């Protein structure tokens, strides 16, 4: 239960930025970011931390939470950076005119 509030905060940020990018009609790159964050980072890291001894000890459920949280954090960070770059390229030229 320790990881749940942090997971929810990062996940809310990820969902918010993905939906804002959807409003900008930018869906292809966010899709690849989310696929990478879930299938390439979250699940393999969570499985390797929670069910195997690759990283030393078997961390059990905490290992799964750490893996999922790491992937969500990675995806959220990239989506927020994408949203920032998208808003800067859209808003800044209109302010100069």
Q: How many domains does the chain have?
A: 1
What is the per-residue pLDDT for 83? Answer: 93
Domain that holds residue 33: 4-96
pTM for the predicted model, two decimal places: 0.84
**Cβ neighbours around 88 below 10 Å, total:** 10
Each residue's pLDDT tens digit in the chain (97 positions)?
677 888 889 999 999 999 999 998 999 999 999 999 999 999 999 999 998 888 888 888 889 989 999 999 999 999 999 999 988 876 666 555 5
18 vs 79: CA distance, rounded Å: 6
Task: Note the pLDDT of residue 77.
Answer: 95
- Retrieve residue 91's tokens: 């808003």
The CA distance from 90 to 82, in Å, is 12
Cα 21 to Cα 65: distance, rounded to the nearest angstrom? 27
For tokens 């800067």, the residue is: 88
Helix (H, G, I), strand (E, B) or coil at 74: helix
């Amino acid at each position: 239960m320790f990881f749940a509030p942090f997971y929810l905060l990062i996940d809310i940020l990820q969902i918010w930025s993905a939906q804002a990018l959807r409003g900008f009609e930018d869906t292809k790159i966010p899709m690849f970011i989310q696929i990478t964050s879930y299938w390439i980072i979250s699940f393999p890291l969570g499985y390797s931390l929670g069910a195997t001894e690759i990283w030393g000890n078997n961390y059990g459920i905490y290992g799964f939470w750490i893996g999922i949280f790491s992937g969500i954090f990675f995806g959220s960070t990239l989506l927020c950076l994408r949203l920032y770059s998208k808003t800067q390229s859209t808003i800044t030229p209109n302010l100069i005119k």
